[in-house]
């Protein structure tokens, strides 16, 4: 599927140059490429809170770099792939597995399950930035615990949720066990070596 999408993107970009009068700079501008990919794949540009409805269970680690620079992004994908392999080991140690971690969305509310613990929250979309904003709460949803931006994409029955590393670790450590907290801090230290990296989860709809 991914190969088909990229092939179609390449064909569309190069055959459409004459009609759209795009310069090479336009073609290789990362925002241009991303808009085409997002349109075909149905990703975050048109994604709404309503599209998230249902329960999504953890299936794999996810991470990426925020850089919009095309060359850096290409290199970042290689590094991100390596980081995912390392994260898989640490996630397992931290109890982040398919049987223990899930997100449930209903209207503008969400519930994050982490083992026997859970966090409630609310989610809205910032139309200007295209990012989703999650507010985790305590005491029955009355007291905000942490507000965090979420970079969310959806392809079919797969959802990818990415967050600022430090903030996500802060969220998880509020409900993690002592042994898990140590592993989560190790993850934070590992990713601190890289600038602008987002960390999170690949989720599958139940």
Q: Cα–Cα distance between 183 and 77 in angstroms, integer?
A: 24
* pLDDT at 185 (0 to 100): 94
Tens digit of pLDDT at every position of the chain (206 positions): 444 444 444 444 444 444 444 444 443 444 444 444 443 444 456 999 999 999 999 999 999 888 666 456 667 677 778 889 999 999 999 999 999 999 999 999 999 999 999 999 999 999 888 899 999 998 676 788 899 999 999 999 999 999 999 999 999 999 999 889 999 999 999 998 887 889 999 999 99
Q: Cα–Cα distance between 19 and 4 in angstroms, integer?
A: 23
Contact 33, 43 (CB under 8 A): no
Radius of gyration over alpha carbons of the chain, in Å?
18
Q: Are strands 109-114 and 132-138 parallel, antiparallel or unpaired?
A: unpaired
148 sits in which H/E element: strand 143-155
Cβ contacts of residue 63 below 8 Å, gap of 6+? 80, 83, 84, 87, 162, 191, 197, 198, 199, 200
* pLDDT at 17 (0 to 100): 41
* pLDDT at 138 (0 to 100): 80
Contact 150, 131 (CB under 8 A): yes
Helix (H, G, I), strand (E, B) or coil at 109: strand
Q: Which domains does the chain have, with CATH numbers?
A: 2-41 (no CATH), 49-205 (2.40.128)
- Sign of the Cα torsion 146, 147, 151, 155 reads positive
Torsion angle of the four alpha carbons 52, 57, 59, 60, in this order, in degrees rounded to the nearest 10: 70
Phi, psi of 160 (to 5 degrees): -115, 125
């Amino acid at each position: 599927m991914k190969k088909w999408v990229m092939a179609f993107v390449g064909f569309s970009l190069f055959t459409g140059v004459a009609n759209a009068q795009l310069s090479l700079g336009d073609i290789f501008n990362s925002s241009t490429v991303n808009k085409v990919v997002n349109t075909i794949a149905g990703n975050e540009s048109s994604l709404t809170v309503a599209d998230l409805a249902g329960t999504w269970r953890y299936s794999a680690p996810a991470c990426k770099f925020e850089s919009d620079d095309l060359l850096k992004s290409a290199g970042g994908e290689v590094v991100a792939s390596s980081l995912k392999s390392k994260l898989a080991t640490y996630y397992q140690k931290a109890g982040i597995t398919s049987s223990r971690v899930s997100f449930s969305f209903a209207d503008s509310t969400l519930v994050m399950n982490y083992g026997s613990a859970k966090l409630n929250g609310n989610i809205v979309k910032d139309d200007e930035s295209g990012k989703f904003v999650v507010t985790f709460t305590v005491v029955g949803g009355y007291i905000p615990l942490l507000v965090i931006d979420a970079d969310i994409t959806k392809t079919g029955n797969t959802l990818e949720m990415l967050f600022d590393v430090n903030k996500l670790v802060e969220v998880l450590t509020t409900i993690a066990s002592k042994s898990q907290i140590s592993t989560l801090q190790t993850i934070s230290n590992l990713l601190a070596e890289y600038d602008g990296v987002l960390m999170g989860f690949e989720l599958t709809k139940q």
